[in-house]
Amino acid sequence: MIKRIVPFSYWAIVWFIRLCMFLYIRKTTTQGLENIPKEGGAILVSNHLNNADPCIIPGVASRRIVTMAKKEMFRWPVISWLFKFIGAFPVDRQGADLGALREAQRVVNDGLLLLMFPEGTRSRDRQLHRGFPGTALVAYRTGAPIIPIAITGTEGLPWPWVFVRPFIGPRVTVTVGKPFYPPATDRITTQAAKGATDAIMLRVAALLPEAYQGEYREAVARERAGAPPIRAEA
């Protein structure tokens, strides 16, 4: 089990992140933060536009968040230091990382907030792409609520040149939706995980502007029109 960082270290890093956000993001707008429960385990799921996203979302929250992040980020100077001190843990995106999934379940069962990016990597065209089933599996195995998050604007953060251009960064918006649970199922099958993943991604897409909804744009439009949404196909 990965050793977790004490709250003092976590909040020291979060305040450093907030300082960076003040310096390098022109304006940060948040909506729906009240939807994050004040206690108990839950799974935060977000779209992913920039390597800064795993820092920005904890930076706007008032509760400690444990982030699952790609293992490559733990090899980068400065970023790896930040991630370790906020208690993030790595996941291998090349296959089914069972160790990372078990750690994710432990985080939630310990009553903490877990942040996951179901797409598995950042979107280079800002469109929302299909998610992987890991989030759905953790939700089914822990019984924890899922909280969708939409982030926009971070695609305009030019790494690493952002650090030499303060106060002229992009406008970033973080929108938090209401908690929900995956569709009920008697057994956690491949099909159940796929359906739950589509439901999760649809909730995230519904919080995004249409220009960011990607593969889920039609499903969101149908749902808003009162028609049964068509799930994205494999």
pLDDT digits (tens, 9 = 90+) for 201-217: 999 999 999 999 999 99
The model carries a pTM of 0.89
Please give the pLDDT value at position 134: 92
Q: Which two tokens stand for residue 97?
A: 């990382």
CA distances from 181 to 123, 164, 190 (A): 25, 43, 17
Measure CA 141 to chain center: 19
Helices (H), the chain: 7-24, 53-60, 79-85, 98-109, 134-142, 190-207, 217-224
| pLDDT above 60: residue 233 | no
Query: For residue 135, how many C-alpha atoms fall within 13 Å in the half-sphere facing its CB?
Result: 35
Q: What is the mean pLDDT of residues 183-208?
A: 95
Among the residue ranges 17-31, 91-105, 113-127, the one predicted with the least confidence is 91-105
Q: Nearest Cα to 46, choosing from 234, 221, 175?
A: 175
Segment 75-115, tens digit of pLDDT? 776 677 777 777 788 887 666 678 888 999 999 999 999 99
- Please state the rounded mean pLDDT for residues 140-147: 97
Q: Would you state the pLDDT for residue 231? A: 54
Mean pLDDT of 208-234: 82
**Residue 234: pLDDT above 60?**
no
Residue type, 65: I
Residue 83: what pLDDT? Answer: 75
Cα dihedral sign for 42, 115, 131, 32? positive
> Rounded mean pLDDT of 154-183?
84
